[in-house]
Amino acid sequence: MSEIYHPPVLLDESISMLKAREGGIFVDATLGGGGHTEAILKANPKNRVIGIDRDEEAIERAIKRLEPYGDRVSIYHANFSQIGEVLEAEGIGEVNGVLFDLGVSHFHLRGERGFTVWKEQPLDMRMDRRQKLTARDVVNELSERELADVIFKYGQERFARKIAREIVRRRKEKPIETTTELAQIVEEVIPKKLWAGRKKHPAIKTFQAIRIFVNKEFEEIEKGIPSAAEFIKSGGRIVVITFHSLEDRLVKNILRSLQGFKVVTKKPIEPSPEEVRENPASRSAKLRAAEREE
Ligand SMILES: C[S@@+](CC[C@H](N)C(=O)[O-])C[C@H]1O[C@@H](n2cnc3c(N)ncnc32)[C@H](O)[C@@H]1O
């Protein structure tokens, strides 16, 4: 797997669902390494892309990668909930499509910000490092009740209350600073017979929950997709790729609720077995899309 680029997930499917070969202006709301953006630019020489990402390292990499495309690309360091401000700054009133490829990137997981349970790193988990709140703050400062609610709501972790209780007990001895310390606490709480010998680390759900909370991921989706919808031309599309069931359910409901749109993916599109073989990180991806009717 490439160390240089985040392998873009459901790439051909995204291009087709965006109708990017037909030409137009597109927003890549989650620019990341720029893989989807580059494919949109290649799909039609007339295409323009406005790329948004909240992670400045992603922005720096994307600027380098997309340099050959000159003024066909504009790049913004922003949250995608700010899509309205971004398009206003560009003087654009309507676009042909907006892509959201949600979640963390390959670079986040390989980086040093504590996104993965598998490496010992400081508990950070911020996608945007201008933000103040870190995973360390969440783990050490939320009340037991708040922590339990976060872990349950965003991780669907049935041991949420016990994990929260143990975190609070342990942080009284000393602050919890690293991914490994947090992962070990979760390991101690969840009965070994439920996870021993399996590939999935027992703390994955807890990590997912804290990451979603730190980055206000669901608030961003709840605001970002309807804001994007306001700029879609008639016949244009919103395409969203999700990576876990909670996120997928949220997106499915938002797409269904958009006034003047019809959902064009009766069932979500999933990666082919070949894609999953080449890029195991794609295995949980689901793509949904909605089209403006009027
Ligand atoms: C899965 S990666 C996108 C990968 C990209 N499609 C590619 O092909 O390289 C998701 C990216 O979205 C960014 N992101 C997540 N939530 C965001 C938000 N609310 N606003 C802006 N960017 C966000 C992350 O920083 C990350 O770089």
Alpha-carbon distance of 196 to 200, in angstroms, equals 9
State which amino acid sits at residue 1. Answer: M
What residue's CA is closest to ligand 1, atom 5? 32
Q: What is the pLDDT of residue 179?
A: 97
What residue's CA is closest to ligand 1, atom 4? 32
Class (C level, CATH) for 11-107+218-292 = alpha beta
Q: State pLDDT tens for residues 218-269.
A: 999 999 999 999 999 999 999 999 999 999 999 999 999 999 999 999 999 9
Alpha-carbon distance of 279 to 272, in angstroms, equals 10
Ligand 1: does its nearest atom lie under 6 Å from the Cβ of 36? yes
Whether residue 3 is predicted with pLDDT greater than 70 in this model: the reply is no
176, 123 Cβ separation under 8 angstroms: yes
Binding residues for S-adenosyl-L-methionine, as ranges, are 34-36, 53, 80, 101, 108
Q: Is 238 helix (H, G, I), strand (E, B) or coil?
A: strand
Which of 52, 79, 127 for mutating ligand 1's site (highest number of atoms within 8 Å of CB)? 127
Residues of the chain with CATH 1.10.150.170: 132-214
Ligand 1: does its nearest atom lie under 6 Å from the Cβ of 271? no
Which ranges of the chain does DSSP label H, i.e. alpha helix? 11-18, 35-43, 56-66, 83-90, 106-110, 135-141, 144-155, 160-173, 179-189, 204-214, 217-229, 245-257, 273-278
Class (C level, CATH) for 132-214 = mainly alpha
Q: State pLDDT tens for residues 13-60.
A: 999 999 999 999 999 999 999 999 999 999 999 999 999 999 999 999
Helix crossing, 217-229 with 83-90: angle to 10°? Answer: 40
Residues of the chain with CATH 3.40.50.150: 11-107+218-292
